Amino acid sequence: MALSIGKDIAALKRMTVTELRKRHVEVFGEQTRSGHKDYLVKRIAWRLQAQEAGDLSQRARRQAEQLANDADLRTHAP
């Protein structure tokens, strides 16, 4: 992880929820409905790291799609 990304992530942890929601718009280009600070910090940090290091490879994307298609998803709670 680059030093600047580390500083950006540390700054995220000091932000208020309102500031994080604004940063989310900057990073993702869309509003978020979430007001959960920890979730917003993790989501934005993930995106910043993905932008810095590069996103998933095509192979990893295909494998994730295959796993998602094969998943036995519950539609009702047990």
Could you report the per-residue pLDDT of 31-51, keeping only the tens digit for each?
A: 999 999 999 999 999 999 988
Structure tokens at 39: 């979730």
Single pTM value for the model = 0.69
What is the pLDDT confidence band of residue 75, given thresholds at 50, 70 and 90?
low
What is the pLDDT confidence band of residue 78, given thresholds at 50, 70 and 90?
low
Mind spelling out the 3-state secondary structure of the chain? CCHHHHHHHHHHHHCCHHHHHHHHHHHHCCCCCCCCHHHHHHHHHHHHHHHHHCCCCHHHHHHHHHHHHHCCCCCCCC
